[in-house]
A and B are shown apart, each in its own frame.
Chain A
Amino acid sequence: MFRSLGFRGGIHPPKYKNPTADSPIEVLPPPAKVIIPVLQHTGPCASILVKRGDRVRLGQLIAEPSSPDSAAVHSSVSGVVLSVANFPHPLGAHVLAAEIENDGQDLAVETAGIDTPWKEAAPQEIVRKIFSCGVVGMGGTGVPAQVNLLPPANNPVDTVIVDCTGCEPFAVADLRLVKEHTDEILTGALIVRKILGAKRAIVVADSSAADVASSLSDACKDEKFHDLSVALVRPKYPQSDEKILVRTLTKREIPSGGTPADAGCAVHNAATILAIARSVLSGTPLYQRTLTAGGPCVSTPKNLLVRLGTPVRNVLEFCGTDLQRTKKVVMGGPMRGSAQAELDAPVLKTTYGVFAFDTLVPGVRNYNCIGCGRCTRACPMRLSPAYLMRFTDKNNVIDAQHWGVADCIECGSCAYVCPAKINLVHFMKLGKYRVKNAAASRAAPGAAA
């Protein structure tokens, strides 16, 4: 039916997608207490509006965006604010968060979509609605949606790409989302295309997820969606990265350090598109999301609809996790997720998966680099991770920069294939940090010394 598209590099992890690919999305019962950080996106923290003792409702704004590139935060339960304090954040630091006790009643604030039908509304009006609902990139990036919906005027966007491939091996909740809410997601694609004034909108599916692809192409036969096109990509990680998607589908490259808009594209993940559609059509703020809970320690892997701020422990216990055997808890996916120090870390807008592992892999550096070049073959960005590792290790910032360490998308393909089990992603992150520091100290020599 379709020709499926591919890209150079990438890896074929074993078929981890299977455990939950066919399980419908279940609702995780709202927890007794949620912890909602004011930072769940890139950009500045939102400013907190509630204080200890306040009664809040489901969907009530509890932190307002502090700047145009910040995002609103809403309560995911109704109840009483127990405290506003610094809580452990899944990305490591302690971040200001509201701890809210759930009264179990789910008293919701009244919401409404935009006043005029979206087809006639002005783009600014629609974006304002999306902004007020706190929608961010839910595929893990956390870029507030309005940032990608209002590109600079000199970069007109002609292609909207809706990524329905699922973020990572294992984390397949997005695929279920596409199957169960096809119409809403396709409507969302049309809304985004209208906002950006783009010529075309492409919905991308993984050619190995035949059911998703067929439900998308069936839906596109409908009168409403006939001008959307469906594209198939070959199953290969990291196909769903925005830079890779843009090149696979349009043959354009996003310039180094740029955004998809620089290549005339806008890439949105299916979950984000769904959140955009719901905020525009019914004004629903982003207070819950779907994620995949799985991993070797989880007895019944599930796709779950989870309230934001739910502690990871609740998610894992709901799926029957053997916590005694668990050695590592990861939020996000197995390839890119961050390992958690505490089981009370809350689910964020960007948490597309929660995984419990019983092994410490990778952890230890066992061998020297043997220069086999597998990382160079696997890198979808055509970088040479082994050389970047050597440059970073020797603090050779100039060469690290010349070899493009800043272009690394941290997909983890290099470390996945490395036979010496070197933590290459760690070196990439360190290299980026050192390059940035060196640039900063060149700009202000006095300050760095």
Chain B
Amino acid sequence: MNEPVSESPQPLLHLSTPPHIRQSESVHTIMLSVIIALIPAFVASMVFFGMRALALTLVCTAAAVGTEALLCILFRKQLSTSDLSAVVTGLLFAFTLPAHLPFWMGAAGSVFAIAVVKMAFGGLGNNLVNPALAARAFLMVSFPAAMTSFTAPAHGTMFGLSRALDGVTEATPLVYFKNALATGNFHPLDLQDAIGSLLVGNVGGSLGATSGIAILLGAIFLLYKGIIRFRTPFSFIGSIFLLSWIFNGTGDVLSTEAFIVPLYQVFGGGVMLGAFFLAADPVTSPMTPWGRILFGIGCGVITFLIRKYGGYADGVCWAILLMNFCVPILDRYCRPRPYGERKKRE
């Protein structure tokens, strides 16, 4: 009865739910774009901290990729290194470290990031917190001395000023801030010249986080490609700027000093890297529009509080980690109202 209408044989047809066309962008291309966006900061790290920065970055990245591959083989899972997320984790982790950290510590951190933070929870997409930051936190509590012994860049000083400042020893900008505020020996106007060094990154600090301009270049690329969105990073940076402007320690909000302080706070330390690359990590940040804004503000507020009142000079890492845990609840309370939802009557 059902003889074919014409003679040509029927090919085997594939069945699936729609849609039948897809955008070409994939997890792989997203990760590739993030790697490309990290290149300026990578170059900056080599310029300021030399070959040691390059070596440490390579060690961390290789350890991350190797750990992921090894675990995939060990647990007989499909090799997932080709999505390049381990490369991104390794790079970002290395960027948060002091350039002269022993290699084995960097490698240990990478193994922790991939094995404990990411793969133990089910691989990319299932990790609760950002692996790179969790690994940095791991090293911070395990080796606090090594993690805070920053070195001055090859052609600059720790603080970015060629002349000596009263009472400033070899300290990163944020450590100076903390000490100056604590001792009451605080003269923001003296630091005006250092803003340029902070922007370029010719100061002491984590190897990939010092250069605000290099990170901004990468961030512009990611924003242009639509891989990160404005909400999270800008609410993060905005809230830090606003808070450190209002509570600037000089008791005046409209003086020149009052504006120098927030600039220091934003460009010193890890805010730029944290806001654009770590807080905006898709896996560990909210999906809902308002959730993203609250997430960014939360990061900013916690960073500010740690910097001003906490025990650490820089709180970006802890702020983002803490907010990572809040992501599910933020999204839950920021559920967008669906089109056509009726108002509750009962």
Nearest CB in chain A: distance from B201 CB, A: 29
Q: Provide the residues of chain B in CB contact with A338, threshold 8 Å.
A: 18
The stretch that binds A, out of B238-246, B265-273, B336-344, is B336-344
Q: Judging by beta carbons under 8 Å apart, are B18 and A337 in contact?
A: yes
Residues 52-88 of chain B, each 1 if its beta carbon lies under 8 Å from chain A, else 0: 0000000000000000000000000000000100000
Nearest A residue to B19, CB-CB:
A412
Give Cα A13 to B289, complex, Å.
23
Give Cα A255 to B343, complex, Å.
10
Give Cα A401 to B181, complex, Å.
52
Nearest B residue to A32, CB-CB:
B5
Q: Judging by beta carbons under 8 Å apart, are B16 and A363 in contact?
A: yes
**Which single member of B2, B22, B126 contacts A421 (CB below 8 Å)?**
B22
Q: Judging by beta carbons under 8 Å apart, are A336 and B19 in contact?
A: yes
Is the C-beta of A340 less than 8 angstroms from some C-beta in chain B? yes
Nearest CB in chain B: distance from A77 CB, A: 13
Q: Judging by beta carbons under 8 Å apart, are B336 and A362 in contact?
A: no
Q: Judging by beta carbons under 8 Å apart, are B339 and A243 in contact?
A: yes
The stretch that binds A, out of B99-107, B280-288, B297-305, B314-322, is B280-288
Residues 250-272 of chain A, each 1 if its beta carbon lies under 8 Å from chain B, else 0: 00011111100000000000000
Q: Provide the residues of chain A in CB contact with B227, threshold 8 Å.
A: 372
Give Cα A57 to B207, complex, Å.
83
Is the C-beta of B257 less than 8 angstroms from some C-beta in chain A? no
| Interface positions of A from 120 to 177, Cβ below 8 Å from B | 169
Q: Judging by beta carbons under 8 Å apart, are A384 and B27 in contact?
A: no
Residues 298-337 of chain A, each 1 if its beta carbon lies under 8 Å from chain B, else 0: 0000000000000101100100000110111110101111
Q: Provide the residues of chain B in CB contact with A211, threshold 8 Å.
A: none
Identify the A interface with B (CB < 8 A). Answer: 11, 13, 16, 31-33, 83, 85, 87, 169, 243, 247, 253-258, 311, 313-314, 317, 323-324, 326-330, 332, 334-344, 355, 357, 360-363, 366-373, 376, 380-384, 386-387, 402-404, 407, 410, 412, 415-421, 423, 425-426, 429
Q: Provide the residues of chain B in CB contact with A403, threshold 8 Å.
A: 335, 338
Q: Provide the residues of chain B in CB contact with A341, threshold 8 Å.
A: 13, 15
Nearest B residue to A330, CB-CB:
B20
Residues 122-150 of chain B, each 1 if its beta carbon lies under 8 Å from chain A, else 0: 11111000000000000000000000000
Nearest CB in chain B: distance from A88 CB, A: 9
Q: Judging by beta carbons under 8 Å apart, are B26 and A340 in contact?
A: no
**Which single member of B11, B15, B125, B288 contacts A376 (CB below 8 Å)?**
B288
Nearest B residue to A403, CB-CB:
B335
Q: Provide the residues of chain A in CB contact with B285, threshold 8 Å.
A: 371
Is the C-beta of B8 less than 8 angstroms from some C-beta in chain A? yes
Nearest CB in chain B: distance from A114 CB, A: 36
Q: Judging by beta carbons under 8 Å apart, are A314 and B5 in contact?
A: yes
What are 6 sample pairs from A and B whose C-beta atoms fall under 8 A apart?
Answer: A11-B23, A85-B1, A254-B339, A256-B342, A327-B13, A372-B30
**Which single member of B12, B22, B83, B123 contacts A362 (CB below 8 Å)?**
B22
Nearest A residue to B342, CB-CB:
A255
Q: Provide the residues of chain B in CB contact with A360, threshold 8 Å.
A: 14, 16
Identify the B interface with A (CB < 8 A). Answer: 1-2, 4-6, 8, 10-23, 25-27, 29-30, 83, 122-126, 227, 229, 282-289, 292, 331, 335-342
Give Cα A257 to B29, complex, Å.
38
**Which single member of B21, B83, B282, B288 contacts A169 (CB below 8 Å)?**
B21
Nearest A residue to B337, CB-CB:
A382
Instruction: Check A370/B27 contact, CB under 8 A, given A253-B340, A403-B335.
Output: yes
Q: Provide the residues of chain B in CB contact with A258, threshold 8 Å.
A: 340
Give Cα A366 to B123, complex, Å.
13
Nearest B residue to A409, CB-CB:
B339
Q: Provide the residues of chain A in CB contact with B12, threshold 8 Å.
A: 327
Q: Provide the residues of chain B in CB contact with A362, threshold 8 Å.
A: 16, 19-20, 22
Instruction: Check A382/B2 contact, CB under 8 A, given A339-B13, A371-B282.
Output: no
Give Cα A87 to B5, complex, Å.
14
Give Cα A398 to B287, complex, Å.
20
Q: Provide the residues of chain B in CB contact with A255, threshold 8 Å.
A: 340, 342
Given contacts A13-B21, A355-B20, A423-B16, 9 further A-B contacts (CB under 8 A): A16-B21, A85-B1, A361-B21, A373-B282, A403-B335, A407-B339, A419-B25, A420-B27, A420-B125
Nearest CB in chain A: distance from B233 CB, A: 14
Nearest A residue to B282, CB-CB:
A372
Nearest CB in chain B: distance from A66 CB, A: 26
Q: Provide the residues of chain B in CB contact with A327, threshold 8 Å.
A: 11-14
Q: Provide the residues of chain B in CB contact with A412, threshold 8 Å.
A: 18-19
Q: Judging by beta carbons under 8 Å apart, are A384 and B17 in contact?
A: no
Q: Provide the residues of chain A in CB contact with B29, threshold 8 Å.
A: 419
Q: Judging by beta carbons under 8 Å apart, are A368 and B5 in contact?
A: no
Give Cα A185 to B84, complex, Å.
54
**Which single member of B20, B27, B124, B283 contacts A339 (CB below 8 Å)?**
B20
Nearest CB in chain A: distance from B234 CB, A: 16
Q: Judging by beta carbons under 8 Å apart, are B17 and A328 in contact?
A: no
Nearest CB in chain B: distance from A154 CB, A: 16
Give Cα A372 to B26, complex, Å.
11
Q: Judging by beta carbons under 8 Å apart, are A328 and B14 in contact?
A: yes
Nearest CB in chain B: distance from A213 CB, A: 25
Q: Judging by beta carbons under 8 Å apart, are A404 and B287 in contact?
A: no
Q: Judging by beta carbons under 8 Å apart, are A369 and B125 in contact?
A: yes
Q: Provide the residues of chain B in CB contact with A372, threshold 8 Å.
A: 30, 227, 282, 287
Q: Judging by beta carbons under 8 Å apart, are A361 and B339 in contact?
A: no
**Which single member of B25, B122, B336 contacts A382 (CB below 8 Å)?**
B336
